[in-house]
Amino acid sequence: MTAAHLLEADDISKYYGNVVALKEISMYVDAGEVTCILGDNGAGKSSFIKLLSGVHQPDAGRLLVDGEEVHFGSPRDARAKGIATVYQDLAMVPLMSIWRNFFLGAEPRKGVGPVQWFDSATAKRIVRRELSEMGIDVRDPDQPVGTLSGGERQSVAIARAVHFGARVLILDEPTSALGVKQAGVVLKYVLQARDRGVAVIFITHNPHHAYPVGDRFVILNRGQSLGAYEKADIDRQELVRLMAGGSELVELEHELDEIKADLG
């Protein structure tokens, strides 16, 4: 370890009883970078996120923020360090409007003395500005989140995390439930967040989604790291081969071409 990274995991392990969920995993991410965590189902991706976001605590190894060792007792501790996690279920209420969702639990208020009210004008203005800065095109901040497509919802969740001061953004399979085109949209916002100086940890099982946006790739398999690669050291074919073991290459190649065409 040389210079201090924004967030670093150093040989962390996690056991559930006598099951080894994660064994000596190391990775890091810096501001304005995307580190991808790749792995098939059961590889330990979810366990890994839970360690980074403070839901669980590692049984061995160290977590470091800005080079200092940290212990997250709860997700709140992680959030206090600027680590925001966007889970698959997105923590959004479908029947509520975009602006109400955006500020749920952190409503801006104004008022006199004890009489305080939810400053909805400011909330709507901020939502419009934040989303347009991310290049997200919402038609109407009053529309219920339930009427947004999966990709749009994911994008709003990312914008919300960025607005509330996330330095590290952990994205849990943000593209897995989406079609090719929608996934492309979300990948664009991942890059937008990166360009705004956020460190992004992008968890996925899809190397075709990871490769175009990642600066660094950590491949997990059955709780162990198959290696960490800088983008310069690995090409897409190799990444796919590592992920898939070479067997399903033909089908994957087809999907790859679709993505290529989509991302231009």
Partner 1 sequence: MTETTAPSASADERLVRVGPLGRLLIRPDIGALLGAIAVFFAFAYFARAVSWLSDPGIAAGWTDQAAQYGIVAVPVALLMIGGEFDLSAGVMIGSSGLLLGYLTTFQNMNVWPAIVLVLVFGLVIGLINGLTVVRTKLPSFIVTLATFFVLQGVNAAGTLKLTGQTAIQNIDSASGFNSAQKFFAGGLTHYDFKVKVLWWIGITVVGAWLLAKSRFGNWIYGAGGDANSARNVGVPVARTKVVLFMMTSTTAALMGIIEALELRSMQAGEGIGLEFIFIICAVVGGCLLTGGFGSVIGTFFGAAMLGMVQLGIVDAQWDSNWTFTFQGGILFAAVLLNTLIRTRAQRAR
Query: Count of residues binding partner 1 (CB under 8 A)?
Result: 31
In the range 202-261, which residues lie near partner 1 by CB under 8 A? none
One-letter identity of residue 100: R
Q: Which of residues 88-147 bind partner 1 (CB under 8 A)?
A: 89-96, 100, 103-107, 109, 116-118, 120, 128-129, 132, 137, 139-140, 144, 146-147
Q: How far apart are CA 209 and CA 206, in angstroms?
A: 5
- In the chain, the amino acid numbered 24 is E
Pairing of strands 7-16, 60-65: antiparallel
Structure tokens at 38: 């790749």
Q: With respect to partner 1, which residue has the nearer C-beta, 71 or 139?
A: 139
3-state helix, strand, coil in the chain (%, to 5): 40, 30, 35
CB 169 within 8 Å of CB 84: yes
Closest by Cα among 164, 37, 140 to 91: 164
**How far is the C-alpha of 14 from the C-alpha of 17, rounded, in Å?**
10
**Residue 253 contacts by C-beta under 8 Å, 6 or more apart in sequence?**
none
Least distance between partner 1 and beta carbon 162 (Å):
15
Buried b (16+ CB within 10 A) or exposed e, 192-230: bbbeeebbbbbbbbbbbbbbbbbbbbbbbbebbbbebbe
Place of tokens 């996934």: 183
* Least distance in angstroms from the C-beta of 165 to partner 1: 14
Smallest gap from residue 38 Cβ to partner 1 (A): 26
Minimum CB distance to partner 1, residue 213 (Å):
24
Nearer Cβ to partner 1 (97/225): 97
- How far apart, in Å, do the first and last CA atoms of the chain sit? 37
Interface of this chain with partner 1, residues 62 to 91, rule: CB under 8 A: 87, 89-91
Select 138 or 187, whichever has its Cβ closest to partner 1.
Answer: 138
| Shortest reach from residue 159's CB to partner 1, in Å | 14
| Smallest distance, partner 1 to C-beta of residue 169, A | 15
For the bound state, the minimum distance from the C-beta of residue 82 to partner 1, rounded and expressed in Å, comes to 15
Nearer to partner 1, 56 or 208 (CB): 56
Q: Which residues bind partner 1 (CB under 8 A)?
A: 87, 89-96, 100, 103-107, 109, 116-118, 120, 128-129, 132, 137, 139-140, 144, 146-149
